[in-house]
A and B are shown apart, each in its own frame.
Chain A
Amino acid sequence: MSPTRQRAKAGTGAGTAAGTDASGGQNPRREEGLSAAMSSPTALELEQLVAAKEVMVACGPGGVGKTTTAAALAATIAARIGGRVLVLTVDPAKRLADALGIKGIGNEATRVPTEAFERAGIRPKGELHAAMLDMSESWDALVRRHAPNKSTADQIISNPLYQNISRRFSQGHDYIAMERLFELHEDGDYDLLVVDTPPSRNAIDLLDAPARMQEFFSSRLLRWLTVPYRSRFVNMASRPFYQVADRILGSQLLQDLADFFILLQTMREGFVARADAVGRLLRDPRTTFLVVTTLEAVPGREASEMKAALAERHLHLGLLVCNRVLPSLLIDPAAARAADRLAESAASIGERLAPELTAAGEAVAPEVVGRVVEEVAHSFSNFRLVANREAELLRELSAAHDVSVTVPYQPGHVTDLAGLLRMGAGIWQDEPDGESPDTRAPGRARPSASRSRRT
């Protein structure tokens, strides 16, 4: 591709370029044949988005390739647009960590060497850094920051209840990811932060994590629980709770809890102020959210809920990424007709072709050829059904979006930076460079972008 050098004006990324048209590709109701001409507007839109934003939060249902998408975006932005880009991943597959050169665990960011890009045949304009989010290390750092002194911090960190919260409390993970993001943003070492979000029970929880953390520290319940358990002045409100809890859980646990909550109280002010700031960063105009999904029913439903949740909270949706989409050749009516004709004529094709063909050096029976023809036609109509369902879901999902891209299904997986850049090329909508034909979805499996504005 030839990157557009036009400098994007600060704005929402819903810039000036493409108007309200869309490529054919995935969407059968739209006109075909625009793919080549359409590749630059998406690249331009992405460039404008990146120019205007400092933080990109990838969210969406689990199992759709969110982590890989975040990494591919970050790598491609670093390569094509430039700047210092950091991708913060939560729980990368080992191969992805390897692809990014993240060694071991820990919060330390490492730079992906320029040579790695060069090996992938690209001279990067900027720098790519990668970091993994280590939950317990991040929690410990947070406690050390907010605890009034070192001995309180040590007490909290060594408390078994704290160990439990910091390692298992999944809503805590949501918060810590956002908190770490805030910290990195504050440090100001990077032009762009791309963050992957932890798998959570509900992707929407993530958005409310800072508010919930504030609630946690401000609630009356915490005050109740911090009334020293053995105090003779246990107040009237909490007495029934302790009576019940005592019988069920035993007094030692309650004592431990009370101790723990008293320690937590010492961090209250710092925590509340911090959670507030984290929440503000998410709402900041410099922050944008990417919703990543596949076009299957269940993830699609979650993505749609995610979209609604973002809108409801006035959070900016920068990009909808539909991953692993089947190629558009499957919904081509002419191809469908060809498949139907194959199915109808399977027997006669078998008769005619069998004498011309051999398999394993031997002649083949007409019935075998006929069966192959039938299988091909049948497989086409099966996949066509799925591709049509995907197209419909895409239409429903992207109706209210500024920019959406579809990334074609790629057999195999990303094992190196080159793979990430290839996926990035898919998002950028150009033919990936140096791709061998056998690793590519057949035919003109072009990703498509659509832009629609809702008034």
Chain B
Amino acid sequence: MTPLLARRLLFVTGKGGVGKTTVAAALGLLAAEQGKRTLVCEVEPKGDLSVAYECGPTPFQGRQVSPGLTAMSMDTEASLREYLKLIARVPVVGRIGPVASAFDFVATAAPGIREILTIGKLCYEVRERHYDLVVVDASATGQVVGQLAAPIGINELVKVGIVRTQTGWMLDILRNPEITGAVIVTTPEEMPVSEAVDLSARIAEETPVKLASVIANRVLPELFGTREEEIFESMAAPPVTKALAEELDVDVDALTSVFSAARLAVTIRRDGAAHLERLRAGIAESVPLLYLPYLFGRAHGARAIRQVARLLGEEL
């Protein structure tokens, strides 16, 4: 399989709240640090990317975050405007206001119009080689399949017209696994793993894009091996704890709390490990599964992104 960052277009998706933006931002940063001209684009312009990089607004035109790293937010109206100007060469740009809002309206109703403008813009950046790598903080599970499949779907609906003739080259980019890949982010929890497994199947069946990697985020470290756990349990036995508390000159209840906390950590970890096994079993064997540890410290913002980028670099 092509190394993840050797591709040109990566769609990072997963259930809401699993750290999609963090992973996308970190992948982008890592690529830029490796000397690639990198664009990171958030598809839902909620400003998450600007929070991740702590860099101020990320407009459609792009904002340079660090050398070689540009961040942008998708804006389908702006994408339409650019499209009209660059590709369709339609001379209405000056009076696009009402046209754009009417278009917005149509795009809401007609399947794939908004999606094709999103995908089209991203593929365009790849085709024009403005960047070596485009990392997309894509939509969550619910919408990403529709987005990735838009160039296929649009052909069913639009029989003639410029949009139709444009889908061919987009599909060439999307179908090539050496150029394009999807990355599913998940956490070791029930619903995120179930969604990740479903999504990997749907991406394979319904979209032109191939799954490049699955990233399990917020994985807790293993506290003890089996032998160590046995030692721990002996220590946590009430008489031993009591003696230990006296020896350390601390309250026995307080020490019991510390042991309880360790037991909780073991339980959470074990719970997650079961989900990770389900994840591994649920995705194709050829797809690499990467692990990112749970960050006990600050889990968001530029510092956390740097940390995740470093960890990702080690995993890759």
Give the contacting residue for A62; candidates B16, B159, B163, B232; CB below 8 A: B16
Q: Size class of B's contact patch? A: 35 or more
A65 to B248, CA, bound (A): 41
Which residue from A249, A326, A373, A377 sits with its C-beta under 8 Å from B161?
Answer: A249
Q: Would A443 and B223 count as touching, CB distance under 8 A?
A: no
Does A155 reach chain B (CB closer than 8 Å)?
A: no
B287 part of interface (Cβ distance < 8 Å) = no
> What distance in Å separates the Cβ of B79 from its nearest Cβ neighbour in chain A?
12
Q: Known contacts A248-B90, A329-B257: does B109 contact A165 (CB below 8 Å)?
A: yes
CB of B314 within 8 A of chain A?
A: no
Q: How far is the CA of A345 from the CA of B244 in the complex (A)?
A: 11
How far apart are A258's CB and chain B's nearest CB, in angstroms? 10
- CB of B267 within 8 Å of the partner chain: yes
The reply to whether A413 and B258 contact each other, CB–CB distance below 8 Å, is no
B110:A161 contact, CB within 8 angstroms = yes
Chain B residues, CB < 8 A from A358: 234
B259 touches A376 (CB 8 A): yes
Instruction: Give the Cβ gap from B303 to chain A, nearest Cβ, in Å.
Output: 13
Quick one: which of A237, A249, A412 contacts B98, CB cutoff 8 A? A237
Q: How far is the CB of B249 from chain A (nearest CB, A)?
A: 7
* A441 on interface, CB distance cutoff 8 Å: yes
Asked if B191 is an interface residue, CB under 8 A from chain A, the answer is yes
CA distance A383 to B297 in the complex (A): 10
Q: Is the CB of B253 within 8 A of A382?
A: no
Min Cβ gap A306→B in Å is: 14
B254 contacts the other chain (CB 8 A): yes
Whether B251 sits at the interface, judged by CB under 8 Å, is yes
Cα separation A395 to B262 with both chains bound (whole Å): 26
Quick one: CB contact mask for B80-99 with A, threshold 8 Å, 1 for yes? 00001000101010010011
Q: Are B88 and A248 in contact (CB under 8 A)?
A: yes
B2 → chain A closest CB, angstroms: 31
Residue interface mask A377-389, B partner, CB < 8 A = 1? 1011011111000
A58 to chain B, nearest CB (A): 16
| B16 x A359 contact (CB < 8 A) | no
- Please list 9 pairs of residues, one from A and one from B, whose beta carbons are closer than 8 Å in the complex, sorted by A's number: A199-B16, A247-B162, A248-B84, A250-B164, A253-B157, A253-B159, A357-B235, A359-B231, A413-B190
What 9 new A-B contacts, CB under 8 Å, besides A170-B142, A253-B159, A341-B250?
A247-B90, A248-B161, A250-B159, A332-B254, A353-B240, A359-B227, A376-B258, A379-B223, A380-B261
Interface residues, chain A, with chain B CB atoms under 8 Å away: 61-64, 93, 95, 160-161, 164-165, 168-170, 199, 201-202, 219, 221-222, 224-225, 237-238, 240-241, 243-253, 256-257, 260-261, 296-299, 326-327, 329-330, 332, 334-335, 337-339, 341-342, 345, 349, 352-353, 356-360, 364, 368-369, 371-373, 375-377, 379-380, 382-386, 409, 411-413, 441-443
